[in-house]
Amino acid sequence: MSGTVLSAWGWNLLITAGCALAFMTAVFGVGLALGKHRVVDVAWGVAFTIGAVVSCALSAGHGDLGRRVMATALTAVWGLRLAGHIARRGRGAPEDPRYEKLLAKARASRTWYAYTRVYLGQAALVWFISMPVQAVEFGERPLGVAAIVGAILWAIGLFFEAVGDWQLQRFKADPANRGKLMRTGLWRYTRHPNYFGDACVWWGLFILGVDQWAVLCMILSPAVITWLLTKGSGKPLTERHMIATRPDYAEYAAQTSGFIPLPPRRPTVRTAERS
């Protein structure tokens, strides 16, 4: 990046931070009005889309048009699909138990605690995780091999995330499956196809601009989202809930990969005897 582009990108980082803060504050108002803070999960994908669109607009005259369009489109497709899926899944549902448990820790105002721990935290994560996309938007080189590799990895991620969500939704909608554990489709090869897909999407967006030093410096962004999915608020919380509520989950976990899709492991002798 030239000095002029670096300056423009610096302003872009400040503006997108302000946009993330303003948007999540507005979503906080919606959450208060509805009495449910689970709306922040719907806003997650939308916030990334807003950041990409803003960066695309601010990078006009600086970044390569192909890079700008590609980075914005891939981010928006991922973000809006995810937002729509979460909105449909949560329609009419009560507050998410995760947020009930979190807000129970508030020593004073639950409202202020929710704003600072949930909404401000989400705004900071959106801004930090989207940094590679913002840098890609200001890349001056035309698209090359890295963009192709990144787009392929992004597509693999979107496939696992979208198809995994769709398969689980259809499974739950069938009354014959009530009380049963999802073990078919992509869920046969990984216990979390949606989380695996999410990680692939963000590594793909990172690789999209890996031929720029500015993007290379931001490898922590996809690393952080991968850590959150595998060790933070994603997989561990989901699995604790499933183990506590589903006695057959431990058997499923023993046979199925926890993250990266792999052929299912053979049942142990003890499991085979039970079946």
pLDDT in tens, 121-152: 999 999 999 999 999 998 888 889 999 999 99
Lowest mean pLDDT among 23-27, 123-127, 193-197, 249-253: 249-253
The larger pLDDT score, comparing residue 253 to residue 99, is at 253
Give the global pTM.
0.90
What SS3 class is residue 40? helix
Q: What are the pLDDT digits (tens) for 176-218?
A: 998 889 999 999 999 999 999 999 999 999 999 888 877 888 8
Distance from C-alpha of 255 to C-alpha of 191, rounded to nearest angstrom: 10
Reply yes or no on whether the pLDDT at 272 is more than 70. Answer: no
Lowest mean pLDDT among 1-10, 90-99, 144-153, 208-217: 1-10
Q: What are the pLDDT digits (tens) for 61-80?
A: 888 999 999 999 999 999 99
The larger pLDDT score, comparing residue 4 to residue 243, is at 243
**Angstrom distances, CA of residue 30 to CA of 38, 39, 249, 263:** 10, 8, 36, 43
The pLDDT assigned to 5 comes to 77
The pLDDT assigned to 2 comes to 62
Residue 246 DSSP symbol: -
Amino acid identity at 217 = C
Q: What are the pLDDT digits (tens) for 216-225?
A: 888 999 999 9
Shortest CA distance to 136 belongs to which of 218, 198, 227, 81?
A: 218
Return left, alpha or beta for 184; rule: phi > 0 is left, psi -120 to 50 is alpha, else beta: beta
In contact, 154 and 76? CB cutoff 8 Å? no
Distance from C-alpha of 185 to C-alpha of 216, rounded to nearest angstrom: 35
Reply yes or no on whether the pLDDT at 274 is more than 50. Answer: no
Q: What are the pLDDT digits (tens) for 156-178?
A: 999 999 999 999 999 999 999 98
Distance from C-alpha of 115 to C-alpha of 118, rounded to nearest angstrom: 6
What is the pLDDT confidence band of residue 1, given thresholds at 50, 70 and 90?
A: low
Q: How far is CA 4 from the centre of its chain?
A: 32
The pLDDT assigned to 229 comes to 94
Mean pLDDT across the chain:
90
What is the pLDDT confidence band of residue 90, given thresholds at 50, 70 and 90?
A: confident
Distance from C-alpha of 216 to C-alpha of 223, rounded to nearest angstrom: 12
Burial of 110 (0-12, 13-18, 19+ CB in 10 A): middle
Residue 265 DSSP symbol: P
Residues 31, 74, 70: CA angle, nearest 5 degrees: 135
The pLDDT assigned to 268 comes to 60
The larger pLDDT score, comparing residue 181 to residue 267, is at 181
